[in-house]
Amino acid sequence: MHLHKLTTHNFAFEAGGSLDQLEIVYHTSEREYQQGERVVWLCHALTANSDPLDWWPEMVGDGCCIDPNKDYVVCVNIFGSAYGTAGPRDFGNRDSRIPNQKGYLDFPKFTVRDTARLFTLVREHLGIEQVDLLVGSSIGGFHALEWAIMEGERIRRAAFIATAPRVSPWLSAWMEVQRMALEADPTFHACESLDGGRKGLEAARAISLISYRSFDGYNLTQYETDDDCLFASRAASYERYQGEKLVKRGFDAYSYYYLLHCVDSQNVGRHRGGIKTALAQIKAQTVVIAITSDGLFPPCESSEWAKHIPHAKYYEIESRFGHDGFLLETEQITQIINSLEVKG
């Protein structure tokens, strides 16, 4: 996959505020787009980057369900990511000696709909008229749903995996407890450098991992094997490792904080007459995929909203690993995506 950068100007945010100039980072197949070739558009999850070979290698690659050598694959880095597209990192650290200087937390709040508008800017820049397959998982599914409504005539097929058209109170609560962890770090609000809030970020990430997995998932991977164990430590060690891992990947607390707020903005029905009316605007041949053990986007929720997308097919995949099943159960997901047939 090849990395690109696109600069655009005069971007106004849905929640208010604007940027005179912003940079969009995205990846594509390693060739120029040729008019008429099959386009697969991928939407990445919360802390991923725009290179799907990095985070979905069993789904994207040579001979995989999505093959960048056969398909023209596009993935855009979302607003606020630590991996290139405009976000709080661009505003820099605060210097008390400089009046009215903008710090990390002065970046405009952005919404899922704002990022979907970036997709359109990239599509137009590449000269793509039609997307043959749109795939979004988790928070990537938020963006995919929004874009499928926004650009309904241009998307032929869509797969929405472990996601929802509106943030639930349950998911919003998980976002808030992570923001509380960031805010509890005394270095976070100082905004002196991108190291600010580092310990809070590690704690927030550890919290998120609990929501991504399941009771069975932790038992399968973190169960204490020593029958004479005095204090359990495997799960604790795993949580600390995951928190530190995100920091080592180059993520910062300010980007994460803004992304958590973005999750709370998900509502495809806003100013469209509600969820049902908005979903009815999706014209793509659609599959909605839920994961049996997903605690963030449970099947009981997914099966209901899927009914409001015209002719959508609903599937449940078996997994003991909770929400993270969208990353792990690639064989089941591949079978479902391959079952999609283009009409007309």
Could you list the active site residues?
Answer: 138, 294, 323
Which pair of structure tokens corresponds to residue 246? 């995100």
Report how far Cα 81 is from the mean position of its chain's Cα atoms: 10
Count of CB atoms within 10 A of residue 89's CB? 19
CB 177 within 8 A of CB 263: no
Beta strands in the chain (DSSP E): 2-12, 18-28, 39-43, 72-76, 133-137, 157-161, 285-291, 313-317
DSSP classification of residue 45: -
SS3 of residue 186 by DSSP? coil
Beta bridge partners of 24: 6
Q: Are 280 and 310 in contact (CB under 8 A)?
A: yes
β 72-76/18-28 pair status: antiparallel
Burial 9-45 (b: 16+ CB within 10 A, else e): eebebbeeeebeebebbbbbbeeeeeeeeebbbbbbb
**What does each C-alpha distance from 269 to 9, 61, 166, 273 come to in angstroms?**
28, 35, 8, 6
- Distance (Å, whole) CA 61 – CA 139: 22
* Cα–Cα distance, 323 to 298 (Å, whole number): 9
Going by the DSSP 8-state scheme, the letter that residue 66 receives in this structure is B
